[in-house]
Amino acid sequence: MLTSLVTTGETRLRLAVVELELERDRILTILMLAGASLILFAFGVGMLLLMLIVAYWEQHRVLAIGASGGTLLIVSATLAFSAKRIAKQRKLMESTLSNLSQDRHYLESSRESS
């Protein structure tokens, strides 16, 4: 029984390592893509704001600058709240925790039947 327990523990540990490696690769990919996207998005927004301000420079320059800044702040707050909601979702090592829970229930039931 001890050999079986050690073998099961080793299998679960290997599963945990594989899951951590996959999660690390996924997070790095997401960060690189998000970083590139943010840089390009910032340049695009900057160009559009510059175009808007130049277009309204003579008549309503303060209104154009204020509206642009307000819009950016609202979009930024919305994205921050979305990121916070996504960050609260737990998916790390879900399979490993599930398998360990099954193992614990199996060991408890085998202990009770003995």
For the chain, the structural domain boundaries read 2-113
Identify which has the larger pLDDT, 100 or 13: 13
Q: Is the pTM of this model over 0.75?
A: no
The pLDDT tens digits of the residues spanning 22-55 come to: 888 888 888 898 888 888 888 888 888 888 888 8
The pLDDT tens digits of the residues spanning 75-112 come to: 888 888 888 887 777 666 677 777 777 877 777 787 77
Report how far apart the first and last C-alpha atoms of the chain are (Å, whole number).
Answer: 12
Q: What letter represents residue 39's amino acid?
A: I
Question: Stretch 58-74: mean pLDDT, rounded?
Answer: 84
- Give the dihedral of Cα atoms 82, 88, 89, 91; nearest 10 deg: 130
